Amino acid sequence: MNSDHTHELHHDRLMFLLRALEDMGSTLTGGESFDSAARYLLRMLLGSVGISSGAIYTFQSGQKMLKLKDKTSAPECIMPDIPVSDDLIARFTGNPSPIPVSAIPESTRNMLGYTSAKTEANNIQVLIPLAVKNDLLGMVCLGRRFLNQPYSDMDLEILGLLTRHISLYFHSQKNLEQLRQSNFELRRKILEMEQLYEVGLAITSLKPQDELLEEILNRAVSILDGRFGAIWLTSGSGSCHLAETFGFNREQDIPSILTDLRDHAIESVSFEKGESLCLLAPMIIREKPMGVLSVAGKESRLGGYMEFNEPDRRLLSSFASQAAVAMDNARLYLEAVEKERMDQELRIAAEIQEAILPDAYPTNNDLDISAMTLPCRTVGGDFFDFFSMSNGQPAMVIADVSGKGVPAAMLVSTFHGVLHTLTGYESSLANMVSRINSLLVTATPDNKFITAAFIIWDTDAGEVVTLSAGHEPMILINSKGQLSTLTGGGMVLGLFEGALYTCQRTRLEPGDMLCLYTDGVTDRIDIEDRRFGVKRLEAALLGADRSTAVSVVQDIFRRLETFAGDVPPPDDQTMMVLIRR
């Protein structure tokens, strides 16, 4: 063959390869189903160098198995589903290039369950792993070329180039499937969160117990697609009695699929974590068992019942915890109404508020943290808390509910419930606050709102991410005694649907101090009706002993008492101080 003919042949093959790559690109971006695209890509690969038969496999990581995805109509070049060892995965991903059968080491053949007899019977000539960045995605198995022509080095290069594109497509499809699964899980979590939030609202609505039990059970059965449900409450003797049902009347026999807990002590009830046709979740408040929430008969679209899974169990456990709190609050409220005593009502609200305030400050290697709140009545509308975002970053909040007394305390409880429902699903502070606002808009009266200041500590960057929702400006004093304020954020919470919020990032150097406070601090008045004011607060912070956060908070509250004398505070007072170690 002369050089001109060889040059012309190489030119033709290059043009064919470019057209093949163009056709492949159109397929990969054409929006076809994965099955259709895989079938087309296999045939394009076979046609690129004139191969008579072949098969394409996808890798199932959970089963460590290469599963046959598509093949030519010829029975050649087909192996059944292939189990894959970790060593073989490492070999395939380490060099995902075409491997002629003659070059496959005997050890690799053995890993594939791939004998010489199988090779000859199926006319397997070349194997090509499909991998991207040490991630095994599949394998292509190729048979003879037309007219039994041998595979040339150029053939293998062309096949390697084309299969790299196929690998990228498989990789993108794998990521897309993971994204779909994540979106499905997210939608499920959002639905669960909304249901939990609705049950949480029952805590503040303080409905009569019968209505509350019916609402809780209906929601639990609905979200879990159950056919039957029951709430069992403990009696004075410690045994359980049937208090609410779903799917049958109390006068009827309890369905066999639903566990019968009558006359059983709650301590004797087994709460298994495995799958079953009936789920049981204890309702416990302050380590005291109140009863059992049960759902049975998860209905299948194909008829019959399905087994409940671990996410179902976690969801029902959350319902049961919310139900226990709601029932306990309803009981306390009814006692207060029956006795017609305001002091009893105040004690109930105080218990709720005390339960949601943190017992201790978080331990942090970077920050020294302290906080204090003083209600102007038995209960108040100020609130502070420490929590973690879904990415594990530590966060803090200080809030002030409009109004005072029991109504304000109840709204604080709602805010606390919404906040802790969302933190496990959000890593973005702005998104979390927007969702808190949307939920509070539907849960609060038109004349009620909440101001709040949020902080996230970004350990890696040494920065605080701050957001003020209509709250008092945060005061920042650096180690040199220079003072500034942080105000970025947005509107108050609970008034305006669709309000937007933005965050501000600020670096904290060692010795820098950040102070958050409610307006009850600056609104404290003396005997001459003069306000303590922001200027006095700033001066007090500059003059305070900043050796520890506790000493700063205590110093400020001492100054407030000295300033006001015998004049009682007109509003709740709360302060939080952070010092970079």
Strand order across the beta sheet in which 135-142 lies: 82-83, 65-71, 54-60, 135-142, 126-132, 99-100
Give CA separation, 197 vs 216, 256, 413, 421, 523, in Å. Answer: 12, 32, 12, 7, 34
Q: How far apart are CA 25 and CA 165, in angstroms?
A: 8
| Residue 575 bridge partners (DSSP) | 372, 517
Residue 547 scores a pLDDT above 80:
yes
What confidence score (pLDDT) does residue 14 get?
Answer: 54
Query: Tell me: the pLDDT tens digits for 97-120?
Result: 888 877 776 666 665 655 455 555
What confidence score (pLDDT) does residue 504 get?
Answer: 95
Structure tokens at 514: 């950040």
Q: How far apart are CA 1 and CA 485, in angstroms?
A: 83
Residue 458 scores a pLDDT above 90:
yes
Residue with tokens 């029975």: 75
Phi-psi category of residue 206: left, alpha or beta, with phi > 0 → left and psi -120 to 50 → alpha:
left
Structure tokens at 384: 């502070």
Amino acid sitting at position 547: S
Q: How far apart are CA 176 and CA 136, in angstroms?
A: 16
Phi-psi category of residue 507: left, alpha or beta, with phi > 0 → left and psi -120 to 50 → alpha:
beta
Query: Tell me: the pLDDT tens digits for 17-49?
Result: 555 555 555 555 555 566 667 777 777 777 777
Packed helices 153-205 and 3-28: angle between N→C axes, nearest 10 degrees? 10
Query: Tell me: the pLDDT tens digits for 267-326?
Result: 777 776 655 888 898 888 878 888 899 999 888 777 778 888 888 888 888 888 888 888
Amino acid sitting at position 528: E
What confidence score (pLDDT) does residue 162 get?
Answer: 79
Between 189 and 219, residue with greater pLDDT: 219
What confidence score (pLDDT) does residue 533 get?
Answer: 94
Mean pLDDT (the chain) is 81
Q: How far apart are CA 141 and CA 118, in angstroms?
A: 13
Residue 11 scores a pLDDT above 50:
no
Packed helices 34-49 and 153-205: angle between N→C axes, nearest 10 degrees? 170
Query: Tell me: the pLDDT tens digits for 237-268?
Result: 778 889 899 989 888 888 888 988 887 887 77
User: How many residues are present in the chain?
Assistant: 581
What confidence score (pLDDT) does residue 46 get?
Answer: 77
Amino acid sitting at position 419: L
- Give the pLDDT band of residue 183 (cuts 50, 70, 90): confident
